[in-house]
Structures are given as C-alpha cells and as structure tokens.
Amino acid sequence: MKAQRSHRPQRPQRPQRPQRPQRPQRLLMVTSLYPYGTGEAFVATELKHLSRYFGDIELVPIFYEPGTPARPVDQRVNLAYADARWGVLRLLHVALALLAALAGYRWIADLGVILKRPRRLDSLKELVRALYRARMFERFLARQAHAGQGADLIYFYWLLPEIQGALAYRKASESPLRIVCRAHGGDLYEYLKPGGYAGLRRSIVAGIDAIYTISDDGRRYLNRCFPALADKFHTSRLGVGNPGFLNAQPADGPLSLVSCSFAVPGKRLHLIVDAIAWLLAADPTLDVRWTHVGDGPLLAAVRARAASRFGTRGRAVFKGYLTQSGLMDVYRNERFDAIVNVSDTEGVPVSLMEASAAGIPMIATDVGGTAEIVNAANGVLIPADADIATIAAAMLRFRGRGVMRACRESARLHWEAHFNAAANYERFGRALSGEAGAEASAAVREGDGAGESAGEAAREDPGGAAGQGHGGRRAGRPAAAAGDYPATG
C-alpha cells in the first residue's frame, strides 16, 4: 500500500477536452476512513469485484488517525486530502476554503431553506462544513490533475459534501469525469440530521451522475424528494458472503436469542431486556438465553439491567466486540432460535444479512429498509414503535421450533436472492464501469419491486454509532472521528 501526499508539480499546458471513455479505467474511491479504522466492512469485498473492471483504483479516506495502522489493501491510498483537512494547518486551510466557497459556490438558496426551519444554528453549521469541505476537495482534485493523476470516475462510498467539490472541479476543468455515490442511511435521510438539513444536498443531487442507494426505501426517499431526477437513483444492495454453514436450530433447552449491534441509544437494547423479562414473568415454565455481540457506551447499563430483571430463568451472555470471523464462529458453534433487532432507524442492517446467510430467522422493527430483508416467511416484522408486549410476543413465536424450521430455510433463500455479496457487487462493478443510464439502470435495479414486495454498521452505516442512530453493523467499536459516517469536523 502506498500513501501519497500532495506536492507542487509544474503546471502543464491545459489539454484539449478528451472524449468520454467507454470503459473508465482509473477509479478514485472516496471513503470515510477505509482502509483505516475498523468500519466500512463491506469495502474490502466490493473492491475485489471493482478491480475486475478498473485497471487502477486509488482510495481516498477523508479521515485517518496518524500513527494508526491501515488494513492491508492492494490499492494505493492517497492521504493528501485528509492531511490538508486535519493536519497542523487545519484552521488556515478551513478558513481559506470557506472564504473561497462563499465567493464561488451557490449557497444562498440553502440559506433560505435553513432560515425557514427550526434549529437554524445546527443547519448553519452543517452548511459551513459542507462549503469548506467541498472547496478543499475541489482543490485536492485540481492538484491531482496537475500531477497527472486524474481519474475517469470518482465513486463516493457515502453521500458526502465533497461531491459538490468534485462537481465544481469537473465544471471548471471541463473534464469528462463521471461522479457517482452510494447512499446508506445517516448520510441519506435529511430528517436524521440535527437540523433536518444536509449541506448542499440539492445542488449535489442535481449535478451528480448517479446515486446508488443500499435499499429500495432509500431510493423511494430520493424519488419523493427529487421526483424530476428519479432516473439518477438506483438500488444497489450491499451483501455478505456465504459463511459456508448453517446455524443449527436448538433441539431443546432455553429459548435462544441473539442480537448484534453497538450498545448505543438508537439500538434500544433495553427493549430486548424488558421484553425477555416480560416473557419470564408471564410464563414460569420458560427459560431464555440471550447472547449479545457488540460493545459500546451503554453496554454496562444494559448488562446491569439484565442482571436485575432476569432472575434465575434468564441468562444474558455478552460477547463484546467480535470481528466478522469471530461472529461467524459464534454462529457456527452455538444454536439460536432468532436474532432480534429493535433499532429506531436502519438502512438494511448488516447484522440481519449475516444472520440470514447463516439461516437464522429474524425479529426486527419496521424501520428504514428492514422490511426488505425481514418478512413473514423468514421472521417477524414488528412496528417501529412496538411496545414490550409486542416484542415479547414475536420472541415467543420461536418457541415452537417445529413450525419454525421453514422460517430458517426461507432466511437463507432470501439472503441468496437479495444479499449475496458476490452477486450484488458483480452487478455493481458492471454498472460503474459502463456508461450512466440504461446499462447502469439495468444492471443495478434488481431491487426495484423485489424489495418492495418484501415489505443499508452500527459499523457500516455509521449514522447509527455516530449520532444519526442509523445503520446496523454488528459489533464494532466506534471508529475515530464519529464512527464510519464521514467525520463532520
């Protein structure tokens, strides 16, 4: 892995505008931290498929902690933008970028939107951050081009303010550059922002070539917000690999439940505790074993709550942080009746994808894109505001193990059809390597209809761990700079 930082090459003469390449060869992929930190767990698998379609891929994390090791990758890693944004001259760079953005970008319409809404200060801060981040990224791209390191395609893993900088660079340089992004949850839904405003969102959506949401719910949200631009929005699901085994159904003994998430407010783990306590109180013949995978700031409180409420017939097992392989070892070696997710917001939870791949039925709240993975055949979808009795009733359905065998088969089949990483990322690679429009739409819109008939950490969609309460990655530690979701500083 090579880390590149910006330098001052001699400025070449401005070339004639080239024709748009039919198959873009150089891809610039902008991440939050990857390959640093522990989040953005899907990126490694996705890169394996993208590398089949692009001859040269360069990773650009927008944040990293100096001195921390990076995960091994085959691609070059360019730290120039992160260094400029977070280095010792940060305040100077930010101030200069903000002044340039105020002079050169269109932001008055955004200000008008902000002034009509409550929590104006939060939204003003969001606008300021978006402006200087966009301008700093525009300058980064200009320096890259002057160094002879331009790209055919910039792919943002999140719906970021930096996209506006890429759009500004493309316009100023008259480049044939193509610009696309994914959209997950905390980065997508404006109502999850503190002020209900996402910086420069309207101009970004107007200028970008395509947005690939990880769920049909996300695509429908964009369609509602920007109906005239619906052709730009596509569903491109994330996915997990085949674990190579199926979790064994318990033959007897306690009702065995598992959950997998950060211990943060948005995951509402206290509701799982209270629902199990409700079951134990309602049925003196029932024993329950609950296993939780994941750590976080509320873990001690959740542990204490379970200890005080479960009594002798309830057992809580806290595994703490586990890597993905560690989680698979748990699923391989221990038996579970169902996985439980009672988050207040989600994309399509990774924890449910992983459980589904192992044939574990699911109980989940109907939030975000959860209905695209949980249905009546493979689990129980409960209302977003379900009370304790409703959650407990969903859990109790899995006590009848004979009738739930078909549910386990359906969970695995649904993963195979919709959340198989190999199939999903191969389609996505084909879409990115082709021209925008019909080819990309045909390659990626498999979610249209399929997900709708069925109804995207805390690591993968950081909005959850980082403050938006979104995402569903299982068990990770919150990454530096506010989780996976792009650092807001």
The pLDDT value given to residue 486: 53
The pLDDT value given to residue 86: 87
Domains of the chain in start order, with CATH, are: 3-7+23-239 (3.40.50), 255-418 (3.40.50.2000)
Does residue 480 contact residue 33 with C-beta atoms inside 8 Å? yes
The pLDDT value given to residue 434: 83
Does residue 213 contact residue 182 with C-beta atoms inside 8 Å? yes
How far is the C-alpha of 423 from the C-alpha of 438, rounded, in Å?
Answer: 19
Does residue 446 contact residue 433 with C-beta atoms inside 8 Å? no
Does residue 25 contact residue 152 with C-beta atoms inside 8 Å? yes
Q: Token digits for 190?
A: 């404006």
Instruction: Give the residue with greater pLDDT, 480 vs 99.
Output: 99
Amino acid, single-letter form, for residue 420: N
Local confidence band at 215 (pLDDT 50, 70, 90 cut-offs): very high
Tell me the per-residue pLDDT of 238-287, one tens digit each, with 9 for 90 and over: 999 999 999 999 999 999 999 999 999 999 999 999 999 999 999 999 99
**Helices in 105-119 by DSSP H: which ranges?**
108-115
Give the position of tokens 């979808």: 381
3-state secondary structure 312-365: CCEEEEEEECCCHHHHHHHHHHCCCCEEEECCCCCCCCHHHHHHHHCCCCEEEE
What is the value of pTM for the model shown? Answer: 0.82
How far is the C-alpha of 305 from the C-alpha of 159, rounded, in Å?
Answer: 37
How far is the C-alpha of 333 from the C-alpha of 313, rounded, in Å?
Answer: 23
How far is the C-alpha of 314 from the C-alpha of 483, rounded, in Å?
Answer: 33
Amino acid, single-letter form, for residue 49: H
Stretch 338-362: mean pLDDT = 95
Local confidence band at 447 (pLDDT 50, 70, 90 cut-offs): very low
pLDDT at 448 over 90: no
Tell me the per-residue pLDDT of 326-340, one tens digit each, with 9 for 90 and over: 999 999 999 999 999
The conformation of residue 465, written as its DSSP 8-state character, comes to: I
In the chain, the N- to C-terminal Cα span, in Å, equals: 27
Facing residues of 58 across strands? 28, 76
